[in-house]
Amino acid sequence: MAVNASGPSRHAYGTARDLILGMRAVQADGRIIKFGGRVVKNVAGYDLSRLFIGSQGTLGIIVEASFRLAPLPRAARTAVVFFPSAQEAWQFVARTANLSLRAMELLNPAAVGQVGATANVRGDGYALVLAVAGQPAAVERSLEEIDELARQANATSFAKVDEDAQDQLWQAIGGLTRPPTGAAALVCKAAVLPSQVPTLSEQIATMLRELALEPLLVSHLTAGIVHSAWPFPQDEAVQRPLDVVTRLRQATANLGGSLVVEACPLAIKKKIDVWGEPAADFPLMQRIKEQFDPQGILSPGRFLGRL
């Protein structure tokens, strides 16, 4: 919650900020504060629970939270549709507007190569991985509709993932941007408008290919998020990863977005600002920090602008 992390199901359910009802937190001086409640109908006032989510522990330590719940679906299935390019995959997304999708992730060819064996998924180009959930009959109809829409869009291929393999596939997709502890890898998270995700994905792939690199790209299409991961040898020099971050950050900024380095070796972290340049609203963030933690005790210097 403190980092506002989310996974593929944010497509249907949103992030913690969308589901939070209330929380308790411990302030820097040891006082316990409470926001919201345990029910959907809440009292009027500022929704400070959402402020604490994603604050990286700089405002207080979250010790308790209440969330809005949703029932588990009776059935869930996964389908994979392949396209020659990220742009063609994005055009297909508009065709799925009337479908009740639980998740929608775009993988570049390198990422497909990493996770394909998990569920025997094979294909050429970019893969759009779709999850549908609900009543069994409705789920089967949705799969048939996706198949038909894929044919109309001239997709390269369409495949249903075996029910006993789909959980492993989604876990493998999530693991693409979570390198093992101690592994040498650079993981970045870029945020742009959803319509710009295909452009950024293809720019990143082209840019790193020029450096003889093949990144793993996983995109939350409808959220405008592009995760890029690049494992490299333990003896890799520091300069090339630094060049990669600079190029990725510039490409993202050119589209009006921002980029955060989520994971990298300590030698690289010492030479970059993982958060990038603060935006125009940074003075407001500073004032909020001063109100909740005037002495700068909580997570000092660990957030944007060394907040």
Confidence at residue 190, expressed as pLDDT on a 0 to 100 scale:
96
Domain 1-70+281-307 matches domain 75-175 at the CATH topology level: no
- Token pair, residue 38, equals 């345990």
Q: Would you tell me which CATH number, out of the four given (3.40.50.880, 3.30.450.20, 3.40.50.360, 3.30.70.2190), belongs to the domain 75-175?
A: 3.30.70.2190
Confidence at residue 98, expressed as pLDDT on a 0 to 100 scale:
86
Q: 1-70+281-307 maps to which CATH number?
A: 3.30.465.10
Confidence at residue 108, expressed as pLDDT on a 0 to 100 scale:
94
Q: Where are the domains of the chain?
A: 1-70+281-307, 75-175, 185-269
- Token pair, residue 47, equals 């929704």
Confidence at residue 117, expressed as pLDDT on a 0 to 100 scale:
80
- Token pair, residue 188, equals 């970045």
**10-residue mean pLDDT series, the chain (307 residues):** 88 90 92 79 70 92 92 94 94 90 94 86 92 94 95 92 91 85 82 95 88 88 92 75 90 95 88 87 90 90 83
Confidence at residue 92, expressed as pLDDT on a 0 to 100 scale:
94
Q: 185-269 maps to which CATH number?
A: 3.30.70.2740
